[in-house]
Amino acid sequence: MTVGRTVLLLGGTGFLGRAIGAAFEAGGARVLSAARGGPLRLDLTRAGAEDLAALLRAHPPDVVVNAAGRAWRATDEEMYAANAHAVVRLVEAMAGLPDRPRLIQLGSVHEYGAGVVGAGLREDHPPAPVTAYGRSKLRGSQAVLDGVRTANLDGIVLRLANVCGPGAPAGSLLGAVGARLARAGSAPRAADDPVVLRVAPLRARRDFVDVRDVAEAVVAAAGLPGTGPAEPVINIGRGEALDMRELVERLAALSGLPVRIVESETDGPLRADVEWQRLDVSKARLLLGWRPRRGVDRSLGDLLAVERAAAPAARPA
């Protein structure tokens, strides 16, 4: 239970942070949002361990959730600064506190690297990331796990599948497609004139989970009694490998627009990582009592609804 507890939410103004903050507040927690543009102004990539310790002493939390990080439209150096080095300093700051709050670190399926076709990745699968993003996220997760082992940190790493749903960033594939469809729907056009979606080849099958389901998993992890599980890594995903082409086609169908999808090696960022990923989420069900509750159509439909609300209204002819 989180009623009456204080949660310090790092990256609270981002895609994940907004959903997590709303879930904690709905459960009666007091949420302090720290971000570059948040109520508590903090640039985690620039803050030193002493700065973070001072923040934690000034606003003592029961739970710290690190939802900050960089994934899209970032250089390797920027990803390492946000996803790895900042977490190292955060762990150092928390290890020096006399009363240590629980730390929930949001990791990534991309820390595992390649999956085995037809099988789910378990938490004991040896990490072997193949992208700078995956390597930077793994370094951050390792910092938390090292803190648990050597400094008695009360830490949990939630390794997330690819996250979608309302508010998905424009840098993500589904976020970009949703924004493109919303703009096309608000612009004057002939009824039978198709919207052309140019995308990089959609060859992969990946695990996707709704951002609100992620938020519920974070709240459940915050409420675990004691100092958390002995092996503090928990996968959070749908447990399915979804075909990327079918996901884009479903989003197009939900838009109600005639759409033509054009796959090209020259359109959109080419993915150099693995083409199959599915998480085994049985540990989350067992320890957290958690399961994903939102279906793919709801997640994609709500994504599209948010983009439509943000799209400029069409001017009358």
Tens of pLDDT, residues 120-152: 999 999 999 999 999 999 999 999 999 999 999
Q: pTM here?
A: 0.94
Segment among 58-72, 226-240, 280-294 with least mean pLDDT: 226-240
Burial 111-124 (b: 16+ CB within 10 A, else e): bbbebeeeebbebe
pLDDT band (50, 70, 90) for residue 315: very low
End-to-end CA distance of the chain, in Å? Answer: 55
CB 275 within 8 A of CB 203: yes
Q: Confidence class of residue 190 from pLDDT cuts 50, 70 and 90?
A: low
Would you call 105 helix, strand, or coil by DSSP?
strand
Per-residue pLDDT averaged across 166-176, rounded? 95
Tell me: the pLDDT tens digits for 55-68?
999 999 999 999 99
Mean pLDDT across the chain, nearest whole number? 92
Please tell me what DSSP assigns to residue 164: E
- Torsion of the alpha carbons at 42, 46, 51 and 55, rounded to the nearest 10: 20
Average pLDDT score over residue span 193-211: 93
Rounded Cα distance, 79 and 127, in Å: 18
65-105 pLDDT tens trace? 999 999 988 999 999 999 999 999 999 999 999 999 999 99
Report whether 4 contacts 29 (CB < 8 A). Answer: yes
* Torsion from C-alpha of 179, 180, 186, 187, nearest 10 degrees: 150
Active site residue 80: no
Specify the higher pLDDT residue, 189 or 95.
Answer: 95
Question: Residue 188 is encoded by which pair of tokens?
Answer: 């004057």
The tokens describing 178, both together, are 């949703």
b or e along 67-90 (b: 16 or more beta carbons within 10 Å of the residue's beta carbon)?
bbbbbeebeeeebbbbbbbbbbbb
Of the candidates 15, 24, 133, 290, the residue annotated as catalytic is 133
Average pLDDT in the 251-257 region?
A: 96
Confidence of residue 267 (pLDDT cuts 50, 70, 90): low
* pLDDT value at 316 more than 50: no
Residues 40, 34 contacting (CB under 8 angstroms):
yes
Higher pLDDT, 113 or 190: 113
What pLDDT score does 31 carry?
97
